[in-house]
Amino acid sequence: MAEIVLFHHALGLTPGFIEFADRLRRSGHEVHIPDLFGGRTFDNIECGMGFVEELGFGEVIERGERAVDGLSNDLVYAGISLGVLPAQKLAQTRAGARGALLFDSCVPVSEFGPAWPKNVPVQIHAMDADPFFVGEGDMDAARSLVEAVKEAELFLYSGNQHIFTDSSLGSYDAEATALMLQRLLKFLAAR
């Protein structure tokens, strides 16, 4: 089974985020969930992103990089929304990556290097009308990645919710999450 580092979204380690990690654990995977916010959680994206702006996006990424110190290189890097930043950077730059799972976000590959690394498969999952994913360029970055990388897949789910996998949020979509879990568990089985 896979060893996964799952980075949280802008609300922190919410109960629904932890429950999502536990679902992966119950499927037999080892899942690390670093706390990039030092125990802080937020009630909405705006407050969480305000905290991120105080920290700086670079600091969030660096905290993600420090979180994997001492772990194996044979990791699958996963991130939800904000958590995609450290996950994608590590998948692109840390030797030995087994794969990447990007939820609700994707940044241009050029943000972290000249090209996506060979032999690092990636899945991207988002809702087709998520205003953040569609309106902020993530959809374009995801499509470019899929066009450029043989082992890249983009899965779009019907709806307009951001962070649809967190059962503790109003944006949670149980049906889309169940389908997404089927797809990502198949992906993880090959890692």
φ and ψ at 46, to 5 degrees?
Answer: -60, -45
pLDDT of residue 105: 98
Report the distance separating Cα 82 and Cα 32, nearest Å: 16
Tally of CA atoms within 13 A in the half-sphere of 26 that contains its CB: 7
pLDDT of residue 75: 98
For the chain, residues with pLDDT lower than 70 are: none
Q: For 86-142, how does the pLDDT look when each residue is reduced to its tens digit (9 = 90+)? A: 999 999 999 999 999 999 999 999 999 999 999 999 999 999 999 999 999 999 999
pLDDT of residue 87: 98
pTM to 2 decimals? 0.97
Beta bridge partners of 123: 101, 153
The closest alpha carbon to 82, from 110, 57, 54, belongs to 57
pLDDT of residue 140: 98
pLDDT of residue 7: 98
pLDDT of residue 68: 98
pLDDT of residue 107: 97
pLDDT of residue 35: 98
Report the distance separating Cα 149 and Cα 121, nearest Å: 8
Q: Tokens 């809702």 label which residue?
A: 127
